[in-house]
Each structure stands twice: as C-alpha cells, then as structure tokens.
Amino acid sequence: MTGTADRSAALSAAWAEPWASAVEYWVDAAQRSVLFWDVMRQRGNQDPDKRPFVVVDPRAGHGPGIGGMKPESQIGRALRAGHPCYFIGFLPVPVAGQTLEDIGRAQAEFLQIVAERHPKAEGKPCVMGNCQAGWALAMLAAVKPGIVGPMILAGAPLSYWDGPRGKNPMRYLGGLAGGGWPAALSADLGNGRYDGAHLVQNFESLNPSNTLWSKQYNLYSKVDTEVARYLSFEKWWGGYVQLNANEIETITEDLFVGDKLTAGRLETSSGKPIDLRNITSPIVVFCSQGDNITPPQQALGWILDLYDSTDDIVANGQTIIYAIHDDIGHLGIFVSGRVAAKEHNEFIQNIDLIDTLAPGLYEAVIVEKQADDPNAALIRGDHVVRFEARSINHLRALGINTAEEDMAFATAARVSEINRALYTTVARPFVQAMASEPAAELGRRLNPLRLQYSLFSNRNPAMAPIQVAAERVRENRRPAAADNPFLAFQDLVSSQIVT
C-alpha cells in the first residue's frame, strides 16, 4: 500500500504542473531511446578483424568445458576481449574404432573451417590446448604446419620423463605399474573402451587429504555460503568420458611411458614422422611450479630435447614463449579465475604481438600495472606483460634428467613393451572373450568415483528423508556465532586430520 500511495502522490504533484512534467518526461524518454538503441548497436557489433580463438578440451577423464566452465575463464576472457570463440569437445562415448589420428584430422578440418569463416581476421585462429589437448595440438601443428596461428599449451606434457628427482608421483606411476598394460586390461574389461574415471581417480589420489577430507569439510563448515560454488564444480567434475582401447594404449605406451614424441619415434599412418621442429606457429607454454601432474620440466623439456642452443631455435625459425606460475596447481591452470584474469588475459590481449615476435626463446613476465608506467592510461587491465629474451640455459636451470635417470626410464619403457606383449599374447584373448557390454557397464557404475554420486542422490530412496529434513532446517537455521569456541575446536580437529 505504501508504494501505491507514493505513486499516487507523485502523479498528483506532476499534474499540478503538467507542462513541466511533460517536458521532463519527453526529454527523459528521448534520451532513454537513444541509449537503448546504442545498446542494440553494441550488441550487434563484432569486429571482423578480431582473430578467432579455439579452446580444446583435454579429454583427460572428466567431461567437457574445462576452459569455459565459468565467466572468468579462458573462453570468458577471450569473449570479453571481443574475439569470436570456438570450442572443441568430445562425446562421452567415443566413436567405435576412432584413433588419435582420426581426431587430429577432424580437428584440422574444423580449424580450416574456422579460418574460412573469418577471412578478414588479423591472423589465423589462436588455439588453446589444455593438458592432454596440448600435446595433441602440438602433433597436429607439426604434421600440418601453418594450420593455426599462435598456440597456447597450458599444463601440457611434451617431455614425459623429465621432472625433479623423487617428486611428482605420476611421473613414476608407469614404471611402478609395470608399464602400460594395466590400461590395456582396463580397456578390455570395458569391452573395448577405457573409463576416464580411472584417470580422474589417479588425479584425486595425489592429494588424499583434500579428496577424502578437506573438500567435504570446507563444504560442511561453510554450508550456508559454499553450496553454489561446490555444486558448480562437482557437477562438472563428476561427468566422466571414455576412450577407445587403441587411444589409451597409444597415450600410455608411446607418450607417458615411451616418451617417443621428442625422440622422433612417432609417425602418422602414412609414415610421415612427427617432428615438433616443423611447427611454424608461435608456441606459448604456460606451466606452474605447483603443478604435480605436468611440472615445468615436462612442459618445457622438449625444447632441450630438440635444441642445443637458442641459436638453433632462431635458425629453425621457431618462436617459443614460456610462463611459469609460482604455485597454482594443475587444475587451477585451466579453471582458476585468478589465473584467467591475469595470465590468460595477458596472452589474449597480446596475441597479435606474440604473432609478430622474432624467432627465439622468450619468457612472458607479467607484473602489476603501476601508476608511473609509460602510457599507463592506455594499459588495459591490471597487469603488464614483457617478453624477455632467454637462453637455453634458463631452461636447464629448472633441472633436467641425468643420463642415468633417462636410462632408468628407458629400462621401464622396455619392461612395459615386454609386459604388454605378454599380456597381448597370453591374457588378452581370454579377457576379451569374457568381456561383455553389460559387465563393462556394471564395472563403470561401480567405480568408486561414480558410486559416490549415485549413492548420494535421489536415486537412493534412503536420501528422501534427508531432503525433507534439509528443507525444515533451512527454515529454522540457527548458525553458531563466529566466535563460538567449539567452532574453533572443530577447525583445529580438521587441521589435525589433514596434517
């Protein structure tokens, strides 16, 4: 009633001076019309000269969308900068018989179409390859040089044996498991398809305190404010994809265990060797010291494998830029809003400059913008990037494998080949004969990662009382005061469990 009375009073006052009110209204209406149509103009604008961006999913076990799962992301930042954006994802279940080379051919066709749709663009499409998409993109660019513009390889391993001694358990997993034959066994039990949930499970096992406790406790202790963030991530994280048997076997045997990419031991089905030195596009490598999946040595070691000096890079005509984050984890390289707002934003804003850099090795140094920076008013965003020339020795300082370490990994690779041959000859025929699609689907459903979602869902009748009780609790919520000593004790107990 109060709102109605206020409007009535305003109308009465307006009619007391009708001409003044009419003039005021028509001026306002005309201005609003101009502003409205200006918004329509902005909505329809798309600079045809803007270079298109293509983000490629890693296909590392979880579902699509890692580069664009929220506004503050790789895709979000590219869109904000006015670039047309495209996304390459994968079906949850692969096409029967498809190979990694088939995927590469399909991606090449797609990238060609993207380029044709933007004939006025200032350059060829910039392609972001996250994690496993990074090495796939690098191989595609090596086989088809010039098909893309600048490439951003984020958290992507290319030199699989490299890394700091005694750290990063995933680096040693292949050797400890006796090679890649367990992946072949899992694919056979899956009736020819490998369950990507196993890859996610490997990732989760790297930080059991977070997986088993911290993630859930953080939700429990902040259940009034944390629900939306928790669910937005978990609903994406819990969607697992599958790979064909030949795909996972190639990945494990030829790349992660065999390290054949930079050794020149990989080739296409037509016999064409895959040589990363053939890449003509600028390469941006983004990695992190806090990444225990793809440490900087694995992301950058390929440069040392292929070149003895910076002069060799220049002579070959390659432009390589790298950026090393101090502490962000593997997943944060792709999904952290803070990283998207800083590193990815600077790569996107300066992509045309990157495309014109002379051949050589550079480090992207990103710093906070200062008021006394030259032409500070013209700097977009909160950061400034410098591309500083570096030498091969800067990469060697990160730590590279000794000859003895490489020999140990080579021995593990040879053991893997023997074990795989034994499995293929002796056990595989029996496993494949016993495998069936119903049994494979049951195995996927009973995977612990999937099971935790299905058990705690409406599919389980036992959860129905929880839903009813939760609605009543929300209506009568009585949170403890922030200074309650028992809350402090609760946090103390949690920290003791973690440590």
pLDDT for 340 = 85
Fold entry, domain 53-161+259-396: Rossmann fold (3.40.50)
Taken in order 340, 341, 343, 347, the sign of the CA dihedral is positive
pLDDT bracket for residue 372 (50, 70, 90): low
Q: How far is CA 397 from the centre of its chain?
A: 27
For residues 333 and 207, give the distance between their C-alpha atoms in angstroms, rounded to a whole number: 17
Kindly report, residue by residue over 117-170, the tens digit of the pLDDT. 999 998 999 999 999 999 999 999 999 998 999 999 999 999 999 988 888 888
Kindly report, residue by residue over 432-457, the tens digit of the pLDDT. 999 999 999 999 999 999 999 999 99
Q: Which percentage of the chain shows pLDDT scores above 70?
A: 92
The average pLDDT across 73-94 equals 88
Domain coordinates in residue numbering, the chain: 53-161+259-396
User: HSE-up of 301 (CA within 13 Å, CB side)?
Assistant: 25
Instruction: List all residues 6 or more positions away from 29 whose beta carbon is below 8 Å from its beta carbon.
Output: none
For residues 425 and 423, give the distance between their C-alpha atoms in angstroms, rounded to a whole number: 6
pLDDT for 6 = 65
Kindly report, residue by residue over 387-428, the tens digit of the pLDDT. 999 999 999 998 888 888 899 999 999 999 999 999 999 999
For residues 469 and 226, give the distance between their C-alpha atoms in angstroms, rounded to a whole number: 19
pTM to 2 decimal places: 0.87
Helix intervals (H) in 94-214: 100-117, 132-143, 170-176, 181-189, 197-205, 208-209
Q: What is the mean pLDDT of the chain?
A: 89
The angle at the Cα of 485, spanning 483 to 487, to the nearest 5 degrees, equals: 80
